[in-house]
Amino acid sequence: MAIIPVIRELRLPREESKRLMTTHLQLFNTHPYFSAPIIGSIVRLEEGQACSGEDCNAHAIKQSLMASYAAIGDIFFWGALRPFAVIFAVILIYMGFILAPVAFLLVYTPAHLWVRLKGFIEGYRGGKKGFEFIRSLDLPGAAVKIRWLALVVLSLLVVWQTSSHGYWPFIKVSGIMMKLTALATVLFCLFLIKKGISQIYVIYGAVVIFLIASWKGFLI
């Protein structure tokens, strides 16, 4: 659908337009936020030359980038940024902020809008080399940092909860023991990550444990 306006603007002969449309009707599956950079590169290439057949540069770019962009998008947006934004919003909800959903959008939305808009512009400017913009962002590296930050936030939440409510599930302990237990939890999470367990599983597991701990403490 995105390429139809380009085909119309090219004003190619009817048969050539059909071949071009057929080429772009082939399977294309990538992360939704990273489709814009690829579209930008394709538009630039199509403006420079009519494209058809398996040897088409535009077709080769789509096939070479769609899988890697899908992986990058899943790692950064689905696996790091969205969970972090959710954790941030849930903390605000727990603190009683009615605008917590807005905070989630303010954390999450600018990043994907930037990738989509700036990605299309840089893809169009770069053509075949439009991928250099995404590579320069180093999103897999940023995803690792965001996951660590999410883990730190969850750890601070544990310390805050144990300090303010004065309980730990099943047993009552002193303030020092609460903080030591929270520190041990963080170190255990680091140990799991060092052993190769995904940070996503660690974060989600920590959330489940904290929810259970809060529920048990409420019953106590």
- pLDDT tens, position by position, 140-158: 999 988 888 887 777 777 6
Residue whose tokens read 């990538």? 30
pLDDT level of residue 179 (50, 70, 90 thresholds): low
pLDDT at 219: 46
Q: What mean pLDDT do residues 54-71 have?
A: 79
**Residue 109 scores a pLDDT above 90:** yes
For the chain, the average pLDDT equals 79
- On whether both 74 and 27 belong to a single domain, the answer is yes
Q: What mean pLDDT do residues 61-85 have?
A: 90
Regarding pTM above 0.85, the answer is: no
Cα dist from 60 to 37, 75, 128, 216, 219, whole Å: 15, 24, 10, 56, 60
- On whether both 28 and 44 belong to a single domain, the answer is yes
Q: What mean pLDDT do residues 196-212 have?
A: 77
Dihedral in degrees, nearest 10, Cα atoms 190, 192, 194, 197: -130
- On whether both 3 and 105 belong to a single domain, the answer is yes
Q: What mean pLDDT do residues 37-42 have?
A: 90
Q: What mean pLDDT do residues 125-147 have?
A: 88
Range of the domain at 18: 1-137
Cα dist from 130 to 23, 62, 110, 161, 177, whole Å: 20, 12, 21, 47, 54
What's the rounded Cα separation, in Å, for the pair 201 and 208?
10
- On whether both 123 and 151 belong to a single domain, the answer is no
**Residue 98 scores a pLDDT above 90:** no
pLDDT at 161: 62
- On whether both 206 and 166 belong to a single domain, the answer is yes
- On whether both 70 and 158 belong to a single domain, the answer is no
Residue 26's closest CA among 73, 55, 63, 57? 63
Tokens (6 digits) for 35: 């489709």
- On whether both 146 and 93 belong to a single domain, the answer is no
pLDDT at 77: 93
Domain count, the chain: 2
